[in-house]
């Protein structure tokens, strides 16, 4: 009995050693979801040193690096993940994240082309989120509205998709639909800044500057990243401009 117990413990210990990189990557992902980005990166770096990360974990690691503005390092990790990924859908997911790095490097058209290739074969909410936003940034209002309506039909519960649609309505001059959707989004207390400053800016333009200021101030409490369309500094400047108009 004692021999078998020792054997089981030894086997478990060996399995932990073999899988330790994957275990660390799991905890790194948990840290990231809690907003502990620096700790997530530290754990991913440690995991990469002690063992071979699965392609899916490398994809997550690359995405986190990209959010933090470490573009070159993110690209290197994502390229490795793409070469090692066995499943076509995982390769497409990695490609969609790589497209974000292309966008942030200043080549929006190529990023859109890559995203369109992905969405043609593989429809998931994150691709709808990012391509819908890219159409908005590009300034193609009608295409953005059409695509974001499709995205909203695909997943009406996704708050990023809903924000993209609300912004598309506003850009196309349908402020009432935009406001109705923004109100529904804010009821869910989203953890990202875009709906707050987008809606705040819309209200301020319509004359409701006090509520606009309130919403934009709330946006500044949320988590910005390298992938945000506006930086925290941009939003602070916007807030200052609207406050000055109130004087």
Residue 3 confidence (pLDDT): 46
Tens digits of pLDDT across the chain (247 residues): 454 454 454 444 444 544 676 777 777 778 788 888 888 889 888 888 877 788 999 999 999 999 999 999 999 999 999 999 999 999 999 999 999 999 999 999 999 999 999 999 999 999 999 999 999 999 999 999 999 999 999 999 999 999 999 999 999 999 999 999 999 999 999 999 999 999 999 999 999 999 999 999 999 999 999 999 999 999 999 999 888 876 5
Residue 8 sits at φ, ψ, to 5 deg, of -60, -45
Answer for the pair 60, 29: CB distance below 8 angstroms, yes or no: yes
Residue 79 confidence (pLDDT): 95
Residue 119 to residue 25: CA distance in whole angstroms:
28
Residue 12 confidence (pLDDT): 45
Supply the DSSP symbol for 53. P
Domain range annotation of the chain: 42-98
């Amino acid at each position: 009995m004692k021999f078998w117990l020792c054997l089981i413990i030894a086997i478990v210990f060996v399995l932990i050693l073999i899988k330790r990189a994957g275990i660390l990557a799991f905890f790194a992902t948990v840290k990231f979801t809690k907003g502990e980005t620096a700790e997530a990166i530290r754990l991913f770096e440690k995991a990469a040193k002690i063992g071979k990360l699965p392609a899916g974990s490398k994809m997550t690691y690359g995405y986190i690096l990209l959010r933090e503005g470490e573009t070159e390092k993110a690209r290197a990790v994502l390229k490795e993940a793409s070469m090692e990924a066995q499943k076509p859908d995982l390769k497409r997911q990695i490609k969609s994240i790589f497209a974000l790095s292309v966008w942030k490097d200043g080549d929006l058209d190529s990023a859109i082309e890559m995203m369109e290739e992905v969405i043609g074969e593989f429809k998931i909410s994150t691709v709808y989120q990012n391509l819908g936003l890219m159409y908005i940034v590009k300034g193609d209002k009608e295409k953005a509205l059409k695509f974001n309506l499709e995205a909203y039909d695909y997943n009406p519960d996704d708050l990023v998709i809903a924000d993209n649609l609300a912004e598309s309505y506003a850009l196309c001059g349908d402020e009432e639909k935009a406001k109705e959707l923004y109100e529904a989004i804010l009821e869910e207390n989203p953890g990202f800044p875009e709906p707050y400053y987008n809606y705040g800016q819309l209200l301020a333009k319509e004359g409701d500057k006090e509520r606009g200021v309130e919403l934009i101030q709330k946006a500044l409490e949320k988590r910005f990243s390298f992938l945000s369309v506006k930086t925290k500094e941009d939003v602070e400047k916007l807030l200052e401009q609207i406050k000055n108009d109130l004087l």
